Structure 1
């Protein structure tokens, strides 16, 4: 155990004695913040401000128990009228994110935290259209937004992850889900594609930001217990409070599971904390700590027959060589917020120490030391009688990777095979202006500039690694319109550019090359660029909500698997590809007053999210106009819940992939179509006690949840990840 994170188990228990009382109102059954909550009062009297806030409406990211959420009570500002300046409430974040003329979503914790086991990122993002998230084993998940990172058979690429605005991805672009604790956040923001401009995101998939509570939030103290199938168990606790200018919050969890498949057991210990100090009513600084200790066995991908007929079976080589992915991480950061009359400035810096211990085909021992900073200015004022909102900033994410590999002998570190020093650098600057030429219509234009470096020095290698350096200089402009039809309804459209710089993994090691093809080391891989056209609309009203987005991305040099050797996918640049699709979601009270009438009637609530993916080569010299492998054409998630005003709810849910999808670029081998269903029941009236019981895949159907991809597959290609069989989970949470 790393000494840096060894005390996590103790910290999880220590949170119980750090609590302080909170005044809070019951939040009933509502799950999304209302439109009318105002931002913190600035120095100038609100009557002198333009009445622009009344035209904004929240993104319709829905709770699974309905689209309504209460306002936070005034009493949650402990001991004072202060609010956190640098961490928006869910209400404020919804208003902020709705300034985006494109595909975005905000998922409040109440949408998943109190009614599901919330083991993985899939539990958070299940009902966000356009997002395909499927667990593979443990916390590891195959995540793709609008077809991003389809060729990445391990780790994450194509979506940039942030925690409180601080990067989770490594400085060369890799991402891992082991550092995500679904119990730790108060809401999650999803910015698809070029809509993630403000984060310096440079990828087709965009960015996801996980936001933790502060000591000034409602219910800062709590404890929860979850348990269920495959010997899954989790204990989580959090504590917080405020005293005058100071506030603090800490949350910790310890979790373990034997896993559905053989050789898939794992455990994790995680802690997140922040301390804020308000220097004045308009200046706040906040310090963050995040640490993780994860130990996870890897069952591996298997062939299609095994996946569908013996889904618990692990790949033999994974068992023989004890494949694992173990991570220790410590992340520290500071963010300072300064508020003026019409302007807000945010400044921050961070450092990350990540140790990856990863016995697979070789024993990977990687030490990442990442660091960086950011600055952002937001100016929202009336100029010449017109509202104008200007946002600009810069981001720096640099690091060093001490990448050492050894022979893997039954899970033990053997003789060294390589030692590399990799130095990625990323500098981005952005600016975006929204000019309201009509009171409810804005013209939006912006751009981002990215300068990136990938530098590798080979100290020693028997793997054929090469010295090399590549630099990238990329502009990503964006323009769009945002029409606020009424306070609950928006229409938007935009044209944006995105660029994805390759990581060190986007390379073809010389000793793995197809002899018929030239060497393509990492420093010759080109950046992936895309131009995306997007139109859509979203609405939220008391008893129904919906969103609908159409998009098309024309992509140059997409990072794809075009050929392979020894069963391994080698990622290189395709010529031209097309990603297009439809993202739609809806929630509605289809029946009301079944047994209870009045101002708070009972309801039957329908939630549905549907994604249409059409990803294909565009006159490729080898694969013509074949479909791109790795993602289903249709993906449906639906839920029907009866909700009683006393907080009781129950009902079925469905996950449906009606059409199998290809796993190879040659379009010769497919997954299988499937439909799985479950049931959940629970109690949540917005008060201090919540509980749930949930049954998943009740029919115990064998299905393929996700798949790795390759250029040309055979019937024995080990590419498939079996879905989890029948499982029942339960949990209870107490907060105050």
Structure 2
């Protein structure tokens, strides 16, 4: 706990060092790259000159710091869930900092078992974790964000994992965010938070520092969290050069709880079993720079080092439980028992605690050159570059036998944890890329891009399974090496017959290499719990994405903007986590054949005097395109061995077909703005119901409403209020098929496995809640509190 206080003391010391704000200097060409203005879209991960929206053949969505500030969302995934089109969020662990973000049916998740399909960048640094391409949203300080661009499709320039899109985050600088600001908030579930920031400039030097600290009990039992985030940046610039050194720190302790059986949803605050916790510590140092040699020649580069440590603790039921069984071997002979984790002598224990430690060191560099001169008397923008991202991971797990208390808390049997996994991994990612925007004339622009990726993954395993007990013991070191490579192309066309109307279309390809966790858990005969056990498993194929997109956007007036697009992304050799029995996290990864995400997007953004309105609708078909055999004994259509078949055309679980985002903001007075958001999501199939035939049916759709209000009390002081789920709607964001090992009457452990019930489990959504806050600003430029900003 003492360590969690250190960032607060550091922030106070830094803020105290600056007693007087300094005047910001005038904008220059190099600094304009850093600001990340939303009318210019960065077409490469490393910030460059970018392209205007009418030159980008995709439905890009942008967010500013002002947008983030007006709605007072808890963190980044919360904001984009409320506002961005084609984005849905599932909270499988009922913790907002541990959410899965889904865009066009592709996922960026902190969970190692999720099929990752989005790449995320912070100031040009790829922050997907080396171990499993996961994204820890709780490590990104929202108060440090200057702008966000969500680029759809399989744009190869954004490198690995860009199957369905890329999220590019630009951070603030002191020159564009001068002055001091501090904010306090408190409300439901014991949530209280504080954030502060300070920025300024002196001559050619600017500086910015911010910190965010929050703590809460959580709305479900045993779901408390503490978040500590800090960000600082020091920059130097002149007319031609911009340099920025930034430091990001995070120290979070998050507790999540599992999905509940559908029959338990009358008491959604309960935990199925507990404790389940994640401790995250992260430090990232990055240096980026750009330099104009002339007006036509620009170079940019970055170098970074990122260190993170994750401690995970999970409580699980024992799939092998058989009280009083004389011959344990008969249990292990049954296919549903987790032979790799539970010893024969442990079958009388009701569950197990599993703790894992993941230490990750990522470092790399990237550089690019842009030529902005005309080609054959036509405007042209050519950018070429390379990137190197190296990852080093140490991963270990330990296990402890447990029984359960009457409220399903895990009680250790003895005090010993036994080592189960000890592995080291190396990821080497290399890329060469080029992209060119050629203007045929003022109305037509052609974009051509390509990227060559080379991936090498090495795994060193120091454990092996004892064939007699199924227990992992120290053994001969296994060295496993895999490599993948591919050249991915893209082409796009923009035609803008008028300044208020533009058409676009494009085709692009992307690639996702199997991650170490997937490569090491790919054998159906030796399933593993997530995060994973490491064995010499069959080689997986890389996932290849091919995206077609076409659309139109325009303005009916300067204050009315609209867009419409259609898209199709086909995946070849998609990788999915295949359950091996009734357990949520026991199984293996496999190439399941082909899948498809295709759909329609519609958007509208307008303002009438004091009223701002926005709407984003998505129709999405996410389907399997190959037949595949799966295993889940809880699926009502499974055969006697627990197997069933998902057919081509069946829907991928937990992806809604319809989603709608509505936002209205009204300036009641010049100093008071009230906003209302609506999130609509259609029903989904649960994981384990890939054949769409389970008797439990779908997880129901939902509509929820959130409200916010901002009061500008005077030039320095402002207040705000936020209420979520105004109607107190009972809903669930996702579902999974499993077996309920607890009694229906008192919900204590059922000691007769024959009476365990197959059920659909759901993750209940949070009930109605509210928060209020107070903010103080000094030395900042005056700005509107309008929550919908239409220029």
Please tell me the TM-score bracket, short chain as reference. Answer: 0.7 to 0.9
Equivalence for 2:627: 620
Deviation at residue 549 of structure 1 after TM alignment: 1.6
For structure 1, the residue ranges without an aligned partner over 5 or more in a row are 24-75, 593-601
- In the TM superposition, 1:87-486 aligns within 5 A as 87-91=34-38, 93-94=40-41, 96=51, 98=53, 99-135=55-91, 136-149=94-107, 154=112, 157-172=116-131, 173-195=133-155, 197-278=156-237, 280-306=238-264, 308-316=265-273, 319=274, 322-339=275-292, 340-360=294-314, 362-408=354-400, 414-462=417-465, 467-486=479-498
The 3 A distance-change label for structure 1 pair 570 and 485 is farther
Q: Larger Rg: 1 or 2?
A: 2
2:367 aligned counterpart, secondary structure: strand
Equivalence for 2:748: none
Cα distance in 2 for residues equivalent to 1:373 and 1:353:
15
1:583 aligned counterpart, secondary structure: strand
1:9 aligned counterpart, secondary structure: helix
Match of 2:676 among 638, 647, 652: 652
Answering whether residue 660 of structure 2 is matched by residue 636 of structure 1, we say yes
Query: Which 10-residue stretch deviates more, 99-108 or 642-651?
Result: 642-651
Deviation at residue 147 of structure 1 after TM alignment: 1.4
**What are the Cα deviations for residues 256-281 of structure 1, in whole angstroms up to 9, with x where unaligned?**
11111111101011111111123x42
1:524 aligned counterpart, secondary structure: coil
For structure 2, the residue ranges without an aligned partner over 5 or more in a row are 42-49, 315-352, 402-409, 466-470, 529-533, 629-644, 740-755, 781-791
Deviation at residue 79 of structure 1 after TM alignment: 7.9
For the 8 Å contact 2:157–2:450, the answer to whether it is kept is no
For the 8 Å contact 2:570–2:597, the answer to whether it is kept is yes
2:548 aligned counterpart, secondary structure: strand
Answering whether residue 543 of structure 2 is matched by residue 528 of structure 1, we say yes
For the 8 Å contact 2:112–2:134, the answer to whether it is kept is no
What's the TM-score, normalizing by structure 1? 0.83
The 3 A distance-change label for structure 1 pair 227 and 448 is same
Equivalence for 1:52: none
For the 8 Å contact 2:180–2:199, the answer to whether it is kept is yes
The 3 A distance-change label for structure 1 pair 527 and 247 is same
For the 8 Å contact 2:400–2:416, the answer to whether it is kept is yes
The 3 A distance-change label for structure 1 pair 170 and 244 is same
**What are the Cα deviations for residues 320-348 of structure 1, in whole angstroms up to 9, with x where unaligned?**
xx221001111111112111311221111
Query: Which 10-residue stretch deviates more, 665-674 or 720-729?
Result: 665-674
The 3 A distance-change label for structure 1 pair 544 and 21 is farther
The 3 A distance-change label for structure 1 pair 707 and 427 is farther
Match of 1:694 among 706, 709, 722: 722
Cα distance in 2 for residues equivalent to 1:546 and 1:79:
34
Cα distance in 2 for residues equivalent to 1:475 and 1:218:
40
Deviation at residue 708 of structure 1 after TM alignment: 5.2
Answering whether residue 519 of structure 2 is matched by residue 565 of structure 1, we say no
1:315 aligned counterpart, secondary structure: coil
2:12 aligned counterpart, secondary structure: helix
Alignment RMSD: 3.1
For the 8 Å contact 1:641–1:652, the answer to whether it is kept is yes
Answering whether residue 498 of structure 2 is matched by residue 551 of structure 1, we say no
Equivalence for 2:731: 703
Deviation at residue 506 of structure 1 after TM alignment: 1.8
Equivalence for 1:69: none
For the 8 Å contact 2:460–2:479, the answer to whether it is kept is yes
